[in-house]
Amino acid sequence: MGKSSYVDTISFKHLLSREGFVSLGLIIGTVFSIIELVIFKRTTTIIQISLIALIYYLYYRSYNSPKIIDGSQERKTDLSLIEKKSLSSYELISWIVILFFLICAFILNNIFIDKYSLIISLLLIILFSSNLKIFNYATLLPFIKCKKIIGKYDTEYSNNQIVEKISQCRDIFLDIRGVVTNDKYVLENIHASNPKYVLQIASSLMQNDDHSLSEAVKFEAETKGLAKHYISHVNRFQGMGITGRINNENFAIGNMKLMKEIDIVVGVLLREKIKLENQGKTVLVLAKTSAIKKKYEKNPGEVIGLMIFNCFPQADYSQMNEKFIKQEINLTYLSGEEKSTLLSRLKNITENRIISNMAELEKKKYIENKAEKQKNKIFIQVSRKFIFENNNIVNFIIDNPNENMGSNILSINQYSPKKLIIIYNKMIKYYKKASFNYQFSWFYHLFIMILSISFVRMSSSNYLYLFSFLLSILAEQIVIRNSNSN
């Protein structure tokens, strides 16, 4: 069974096992019945009953664990709800059947002699025709197939609980940076009287910063062969920008939040900045300040340039957005940029789905607050770096292969929006298959029990074993085809 997750299809041989519909007891019971019926012309004997009962006892004792995936036993705490239900169904019905067997054997044996053989025949059909361990294995098959299929999309996850949670999720948070866009900015232009000077100051301020905007500035400076200045008194403001001192002059580079924080008046360039943002551009302001004071009290300064960037969206983001909307998924896009920039850059994403001007920590706090207020709901968050420990948040971590696989983490490498929607839909599909297999197992057990009651009223119940064997083959094929269907 450990190798089954490495195959593309679930074959018949994987169910011809102690976990499948065709049990060892059913096979032996069928063989004995045919021999007795054809050769000895008689019905079930006490020897046969005792032998099959002994086989069932050994069979039950030999396999009473949870389940196995990829050869390693999984903790019960990591099982999905439907897997726990399948285990509970198996354990509950197994003990009920054993109790019924004891009652028949010790109470009815001496009271209703004529009915005793009929009751035992019925009991054996229930025990072996409806192999109870199918509750475990039939439910597990789609999860095995799902893990194999999802693996083809460079995706990993630790347990099937994630598949179940994703199937229940109707709310998805997407960090625009790196999820909808490629997170690679290009410095397109500099509005300043001395663009070279602005680029040199900006690259010096950002020389130790790894933000994608900083990387774009440093790349442009290196391309033009500009040397970096020594910088001191550096302060980084999360989601706003950087301040520092170069050659005894104080500079600041960042967005309007930072300019307001240090009381820089952008002036006539503000209109130009808004115009550029309405065209889908990202604009940073470089300003010179007279002094950098504690808590940034009144501190007049001057703007010396605007740096204009562009960031291109992922190729399939519009298709991803459209398909999620059609499935009535509540999408929320989080970004640190201006809403006007995002609405111009990203087509087909409505304004009410975007929350803008958020620092990284603000994004995380926003998602955490939503999850805390609605603990009965499941949320998915897609980002490059955020990881939440909340049980009702599934973390889709993209392009971070070194991330430890926690119980709520799904890792996607070589990410694309198209791949995200495929993974989401595949997991929902295979969870539905697991649910069908579980429900079908119940139906099969109830059907075989009712059928056994009707057959046992006939003069001979030996045909029941053979009929049940053929019925179990049919049931297996239904489970296999459901698990393998695309």
> Which domain CATH number covers 237?
3.40.1110.10
* Contacts for 399-408: CB closer than 8 Å, 24+ residues apart: 399/178, 405/156, 405/157, 405/158, 406/158, 407/78, 407/158, 407/159, 407/161, 407/162, 408/162, 408/165
State pLDDT tens for residues 309-336.
999 898 889 999 999 999 999 999 999 8
Lowest-confidence segment of 53-67, 140-154, 391-405, 460-474 by average pLDDT: 53-67
In a domain, 33, yes or no: yes
173 and 318: one domain? yes
**CB contact at 8 A, 37 and 31:** no
471 falls within a domain? yes
Average pLDDT on 79-108 reads 62
Q: For residue 261, is it within any domain? A: yes
Which residue range(s) make up the domain with 268? 183-312
Residue 331 has φ and ψ, to the nearest 5°, of -95, 135
Per residue in 35-87, pLDDT tens? 655 565 555 444 555 555 555 555 445 544 333 333 333 444 456 677 777 76
3-state secondary structure of 249: strand
pTM: 0.75
- Regarding whether 428 and 281 lie in a shared domain, the answer is no
**Would 419 be classed as within a structural domain?**
no
Q: What is the mean pLDDT of residues 247-260?
A: 90
* Pairwise pLDDT comparison (120 vs 451), residue with the higher score: 451
Question: Does 319 lie in the same domain as 174?
Answer: yes
% of the chain beyond a pLDDT of 70: 64
Residues 339 and 372 in one domain: yes
**How much is the pLDDT for 159?**
85
Q: Six-digit token pair at 476?
A: 């297996």
Tell me what the mean pLDDT of segment 11-39 comes to. Answer: 53
Nearest CA to 381 out of 314, 313, 332, 342 is that of: 332
pLDDT in the model for residue 87: 67
Residue 43 lies in a domain: yes
Whether residue 176 is found in the same domain as residue 323: yes
**Phi-psi group of 17: left, alpha or beta (phi > 0 → left; psi -120 to 50 → alpha; rest → beta):** beta
CA end-to-end span of the chain: 22
* Domain end marker among 413, 445, 460: 413
Domain count, the chain: 3
Residues 352 and 276 in one domain: no
Are 77 and 193 within one domain?
Answer: no
Residue that finishes a domain, picked among 265, 296, 312: 312
Is the same domain home to 406 and 430? no
Domain for residue 36, yes or no? yes
The domain boundary residue, chosen from 383, 413, 443: 413
- Rounded average pLDDT over 162-184: 91
In this structure, the answer to whether residues 254 and 388 fall within a common structural domain is no
Most confident of the following: 36-40, 97-101, 363-367: 363-367
Burial of 320 (0-12, 13-18, 19+ CB in 10 A): buried
Considering the domain architecture, whether residues 201 and 248 belong to the same structural domain is answered as yes
Task: Report long-range pairs for 39-45 (Cβ below 8 Å, ≥24 apart).
Answer: 43/117, 43/460, 43/461, 43/462, 44/117, 44/120, 44/121, 44/124, 44/461, 44/462
Q: In sequence order, what are the residues at sequence separation of 6 or more whose Cβ sits closer than 8 angstroms to the Cβ of residue 393? A: 367, 371, 378, 379, 380, 381, 408
Asked if residue 418 is part of any domain, the answer here is no
What span, in angstroms and rounded, lies between the C-alpha atoms of 135 and 87?
Answer: 7
Q: What is the CA radius of gyration of the chain?
A: 33
432 pLDDT higher than 90: yes
- The predicted pLDDT at position 130 comes to 46
- Asked if pLDDT for residue 202 goes beyond 90, the answer is yes
* Residue range 209-219: mean pLDDT, rounded: 92
Distance CA 36, CA 16 (A): 25
As a residue count, the chain comes to 486
Let me know whether 145 and 18 are in one domain.
Answer: yes
pLDDT of residue 480: 79
Does residue 67 form part of some domain? yes
Choice among 153-157, 260-264, 425-429 with the minimum mean pLDDT: 260-264
- For the ranges 28-32, 123-127, 132-136, 230-234, the lowest mean pLDDT is seen at 123-127
Angle between helices 46-62 and 24-35 (to 10 degrees): 170
Question: Looking at this protein, which amino acid is placed at residue 3?
Answer: K
What CATH number has the domain bearing residue 344?
Answer: 3.40.50.1000
In angstroms, the CA 416 to CA 317 distance is 8
Answer yes or no: do 348 and 479 share one domain. Answer: no
Residue whose token pair is 């002994």: 54
Q: Which residues pair with 284 in a beta bridge?
A: 307
State the Cα angle at 15 between 9 and 79, rounded to 5°: 80
442-485 confidence digits (pLDDT tens): 787 777 666 655 554 554 555 565 666 667 767 777 887 888 87
